[in-house]
Structure 1
Amino acid sequence: MSSELPQELVDQVIDHLWDDFVSLAACSLTCHAWLPSSRTHLFRHVDLDSPSACFRFQQLLKTSPKIAPFVRKVRVRSYSLSQKPPALGYEEIMWESHVPRLLSRLPRLTDLNISSLNWGTLHLTAVHGGAFLSRLGSVKRLTLADVHFETSAQVRSMLAAASNLEELYFDRVYWNNSSACVPLNAPVCQMPRICTSLLQSPFVPTSRDTGGRRLQELMLRSGSPSDLVIDWLLGTGEVRLRKLHVSWRDRRNAKALCALLIASGPHLKHLHMELTNGVAGLMQNEMQLGLLTSLRYVHFDGLILSDCGDWITTMVAQLTSPYLNQMEISLLARWTDDLCMLDWNKLDAALSRGCFVGVVVTLNVNLAIYRANKEEDARMIVELGLPEFQKLGTLLVKCS
């Protein structure tokens, strides 16, 4: 089939079909000129969430190896943390062990999402484990959710290998044993030996380390190895985070979060902190939000009235960024009257400074389900408590 249309125009038309896989498949069979653009979208995102999906993709790479460069994102979901159905055969039960070999064959992989996986089921041998870790060097976005490691060394070796990460998301990541780990500057050629020796070298960052320096967005959800990730990030040199989302529950390592905020300094633009009252109280004297001079958005979340009032006022008073345009405070109150225990005069004074001119401040008040609690009463308490700020900025009150 010949076409009088310029190839650039054909490519743009096919690009509009990026999420229509039936049409893309038809376009790929139309003519040779339409094949590259169609493949770009057909194989951009691959889901490996079952034995059949894994083996189909394995066979596809075997028969059509030219599609490998088109794969940019892979999502691996194994369900290995739950019991395997007894109807599966041995080869199907062990399908996760094929994943490292498949990933190592994708030269342009930039987005890797792994969930519901026991790391041991990957069976990282010296050869395939080294190739897999080497491939992590091209990944820019890494997501781990409900992943169970055997040792903390495995977590750190993975972070060390992912030297070009720009976005990192950890959600419910666990391990059984703490152990030493590989130096961050270990060359790729040493990865097979590292896998075999279970990463016996101590974790000692050097001036040549680059892992973490490119990281711009970090999310640490509850149940994740927050202090391990922060220690790794701080040890790699200058921290250039622009977006930080943390859900912190560990009182013993509250200072680690403070250290990360201080290190982020003028680079951080988006901050979301979900804290318990106990953690917030420990951090009150350590937090230095005034160093975050480029903040555009900040959200304080997870706090319960009435004993978090002083912390909220202290944190708001520390904010000095001239670029701030939006702030959220989410509170949980058992009773509407608990709102009256917050020192609204101090909070209003903290919000009435020059850096809050034109800022949209949203207060999310979550009330316990009691008949005596009225959303209208809670909204009135908040609005009457911040009269001066409402002359400078915009106040939004959301009650539920």
Structure 2
Amino acid sequence: MACSLVCKQWLPPSRYQLFRNTTIHIDVDNFRKFCELLASQRLNAYLGRLHLESHIIDDRFVGGPEDAFQFNQDLGRLAGLPNLQFLRLEYHHDELIHEFPAVLANSFTSITDLEFVSFWFSTFDQFVEIVESLPLLCRVSLDEIGWYDLPDNDEDLVSDPSRPTYGCGNLRDVVLRCGFHSPVPVLLWLPFQMRITRLTLALGPWQSMAHLEGPLLTRSLHSFGSQLEHMIFGSPSGYVPDLSQAKQLHTLELTEIPCTNLSMASDCEWVPTLLSQIHSPLLRRIVFVIDLGRRENLDFLNWPRIHEQLTRLSSLRFVEFALPSHKHWATIAISERLDPRQYSLQVRQLDGPYKYSLGMFNN
């Protein structure tokens, strides 16, 4: 900030540094002021990241329509940002208007990174249309997403003869956090995204994945598994995907490992089972994110099997454990359980809720 006050020549590069990688959060409280800022054209060329939050389920909204932000009515008002690369759309539980994909594509042509959080689409094809209309899009994140047009039974969706054949996109990075909603539509779409090298998949504990979702996920991984380099996977339900085709895997993160007071040893057996499927000669880093309750719950993990599988991976160089508590004690306990080892071991404490992000793969 101080640099921008030196002289006029320092102002443009200072604004670039200030706003290029800073996420601007727009909601009901500052929507009108942000529109006024855009109209002035002073910072439009420097904004690189935008987080748009609708008021639809925001109980703070008390003003009139002129003070609110609604995706259907107001998204087009935020155009004119030529260098915007990151866009997060959050909280929309109304049906989207038919023109929404076109408005998004016309207003944000430079987007490379798109996130939807607690967002409902009128149809799944509407989501596909949005993704395919953004030519530079490389990453899409879906967190607690719903589709108004889906049948009650997932089997009807899979067997529907009118289900479209999706085109191959340019996506390299997909994040899917299922939550309460069925992952079936996305799992049907994933096999057509043949350029994926990074995949995050977080399943809810109520999704067994054994009947329908499991085979669909296996089909997806077989489609692009040969080029998959980085993967984050969370399965409190115990489902184990088939990673036998992931021969190019560099990094693997296992999340939602349940070592809570309500868990049993069988709830964690999916961890060594999944490790046993990995045969990538390029795997260098594995991260375990453990939901640890009490210290003694750490014994729910089958440490002999985990140690055996980690030792088998000769290319492995870094192993990391992340826990919400007991870091100092866990550092000693885990080191003893995994000794001897040929890789570097680190134990860290989670700062706040775990976030499903592939940012660590940029390191």
- Shared fold (TM-score, shorter chain, > 0.5): yes
C-alpha displacement of 1:143? 1.4
Q: Render the CA deviation track for 1:344-378: whole Å, top value 9, x for unaligned.
A: 4444332332x3356333455779x9xxxxx9699
Structure 1 residues 176 and 38: CA distance shift in structure 2, 3 A: same
SS class of match (1:251): coil
| Contact persistence 2:123–2:150 (CA under 8 A) | yes
How does the TM-score come out when normalised to structure 2? 0.72
Give 2:250's aligned residue: 296
**Aligned equivalents of 2:10 and 2:335: distance in 1?**
60
**Aligned equivalents of 2:45 and 2:85: distance in 1?**
11
* 1:166 matched to 2:142: no
2:227 corresponds to which letter in structure 1?
Answer: H
C-alpha displacement of 1:342? 5.5
C-alpha displacement of 1:275? 0.7
* 1:349 matched to 2:305: no
C-alpha displacement of 1:313? 2.4
Greater Rg over alpha carbons, structure = 1
2:235 corresponds to which letter in structure 1?
Answer: L
Structure 1 residues 251 and 55: CA distance shift in structure 2, 3 A: same
Q: Render the CA deviation track for 1:195-232: whole Å, top value 9, x for unaligned.
A: xxxxxx96333xxx452x2x222222242663333433
The structure whose residues are more often helix, as a share, is 1
SS class of match (2:218): helix
Structure 1 residues 134 and 336: CA distance shift in structure 2, 3 A: same
Give 1:226's aligned residue: 183
Give 1:240's aligned residue: 196
1:204 corresponds to which letter in structure 2?
Answer: T
Give 1:393's aligned residue: 343
SS class of match (1:272): strand
SS class of match (1:257): helix
Question: What's the % identity of the aligned pairs?
Answer: 18
1:32-51 residue pairs with structure 2 within 5 A?
A: 33-34=9-10, 36-38=12-14, 40-41=16-17, 44=20, 47=24, 49-50=26-27
How does the TM-score come out when normalised to structure 1? 0.66
| Contact persistence 1:240–1:264 (CA under 8 A) | yes
**Aligned equivalents of 1:48 and 1:391: distance in 2?**
45
**Aligned equivalents of 1:115 and 1:248: distance in 2?**
20
Give 2:147's aligned residue: 175
C-alpha displacement of 1:142? 0.6
C-alpha displacement of 1:93? 3.7
| Contact persistence 1:116–1:145 (CA under 8 A) | yes
Give 2:232's aligned residue: 272
* 1:361 matched to 2:319: yes
1:356 corresponds to which letter in structure 2?
Answer: S
* 1:321 matched to 2:271: no
Structure 1 residues 332 and 114: CA distance shift in structure 2, 3 A: closer
C-alpha displacement of 1:79? 3.3
C-alpha displacement of 1:244? 2.2
C-alpha displacement of 1:172? 1.8
Q: Render the CA deviation track for 1:20-54: whole Å, top value 9, x for unaligned.
A: 2x653x46xx44x5554355456646736245633
Give 2:65's aligned residue: 90
1:244 corresponds to which letter in structure 2?
Answer: L
Give 2:83's aligned residue: 108
Structure 1 residues 38 and 231: CA distance shift in structure 2, 3 A: same
Give 2:57's aligned residue: 81
C-alpha displacement of 1:113? 1.4
**Aligned equivalents of 1:399 and 1:71: distance in 2?**
33
SS class of match (1:100): helix
**Aligned equivalents of 2:276 and 2:92: distance in 1?**
43
**Aligned equivalents of 1:315 and 1:346: distance in 2?**
11
**Aligned equivalents of 2:299 and 2:44: distance in 1?**
61
Give 1:156's aligned residue: 128
C-alpha displacement of 1:248? 0.9
Stretches of structure 2 lacking an aligned partner (at least 5 in a row): 152-161, 259-263, 351-363
Q: Render the CA deviation track for 1:174-205: whole Å, top value 9, x for unaligned.
A: 233328xxxxxxxxxxxxxxxxxxxxx96333
**Aligned equivalents of 2:292 and 2:12: distance in 1?**
57
2:54 corresponds to which letter in structure 1?
Answer: S
| Contact persistence 1:357–1:392 (CA under 8 A) | no
**Aligned equivalents of 2:145 and 2:282: distance in 1?**
34
**Aligned equivalents of 1:220 and 1:103: distance in 2?**
27
| Contact persistence 2:28–2:55 (CA under 8 A) | no
SS class of match (2:56): coil
| Contact persistence 1:303–1:331 (CA under 8 A) | yes
C-alpha displacement of 1:76? 0.9
C-alpha displacement of 1:306? 0.4
1:49 corresponds to which letter in structure 2?
Answer: I
